[in-house]
Amino acid sequence: MDMDIEKKRPDLSNAEVMDIDTYFKRLVQPETPPAIWRWDDIVKVMDGMEADPKRYPSYRRAVCLVNNSWAGAPGASPALFAGFQRFRPGEHLPPHKHNSVALYYWVQGKGRAIVNGTEIDFKAGDVLTCPAWNEHQFFNTGDEDLIMFSIHDLPILAQMRALFWEEPMGQENIQHIVKSEAASWNADEHEEDVANLKSILIKTAN
Ligand SMILES: [Fe+2]
């Protein structure tokens, strides 16, 4: 019996006790210099994804802007995610929800959002905020590409181990995203589905 308890004991060798000066030296984070992501590179990644629609269905076609100046959860800044999505005419981003707050800005095109059952039509130049844990989906209702810019407070939630996603909709699909068992934000996809997916990554030129 005692042997079983011994086996289940976690490794606690990561704990340290220190004075406050040593602590503060570690607490201070590296500077975050400005970063700029070029539109040509963003379009290259959009085009690369659209060339492989099986690998990149509409819900997976997000171009993420990452500043590599710090370790930890990636983003455009230590607290904020920024990214683009492009939807062809008639395309639809299926319903889902997350506890990151999102700001959506449409660079081009027109469409319809449904947020918690409320239909909201939008066009280029409009900005929508989607509160945390509100179900939302988007439709391209125009006859040109819909280009959407998104900002989320997603990296800071990941750093706090408090990022949750429900996609597809359904209680059974709610995932604690930063747990190592979450293979993807989409609960339909398991580790073996995503392990060998090709990636697209461009280092932006100055
Ligand atoms: Fe979303």
CATH of the domain at 141: 2.60.120.10
CA distances (Å), origin 21, targets 14, 18, 29, 69: 19, 8, 14, 24
Beta strand 127-130 with 102-108 is: antiparallel
Residue 113 banded pLDDT, cuts 50, 70, 90: very high
- Give me the chain's average pLDDT, please: 91
Angle, alpha carbons 131-178-56 (nearest 5°): 75
List of E strands, the chain: 62-65, 81-87, 92-98, 102-108, 110-115, 118-123, 127-130, 136-140, 146-152, 164-166, 174-176
Q: Which of 112, 108, 72 is nearest to 90 (CA)?
A: 112
Q: What is the per-residue pLDDT for 193?
A: 73
Domain assignment present for residue 71? The answer is yes
| Number of separate domains in the chain | 1
Q: What is the per-residue pLDDT for 190?
A: 74
Residue 6 has pLDDT above 90, yes or no: no
Domain assignment present for residue 176? The answer is no
Residue 43 has pLDDT above 80, yes or no: yes
In whole angstroms, give the CA distance from residue 145 to residue 109: 6
Domain assignment present for residue 149? The answer is yes
Cα(129) to ligand 1 centroid in Å equals 11
* pLDDT, tens digit (0-9, with 9 covering 90-100), for 114-136: 999 999 999 999 999 999 999 99
Q: What is the per-residue pLDDT for 120?
A: 98
Domain assignment present for residue 74? The answer is yes
Cα(96) to ligand 1 centroid in Å equals 6
In whole angstroms, give the CA distance from residue 153 to residue 80: 5
Q: What is the per-residue pLDDT for 94?
A: 95
Domain assignment present for residue 172? The answer is no
- At residue 105, the 3 state secondary structure works out as strand
Question: Do the beta carbons of residue 76 and residue 82 sit within 8 Å?
Answer: yes
Cα(180) to ligand 1 centroid in Å equals 21
CA distances (Å), origin 188, targets 50, 52, 76: 21, 19, 27
Cα(80) to ligand 1 centroid in Å equals 14
Cα(138) to ligand 1 centroid in Å equals 9
Cα(35) to ligand 1 centroid in Å equals 24
Q: What is the per-residue pLDDT for 71?
A: 87
Angle, alpha carbons 180-192-190 (nearest 5°): 60
Domain assignment present for residue 16? The answer is no
Average of per-residue pLDDT across 70-99: 95
Domain assignment present for residue 111? The answer is yes
Which stretches within 9-106 are classed as H helix? 20-27, 39-50
Is the full-model pTM beyond 0.85?
yes
Q: What is the per-residue pLDDT for 4?
A: 59
For residue 150, what are the domain limits? 35-162
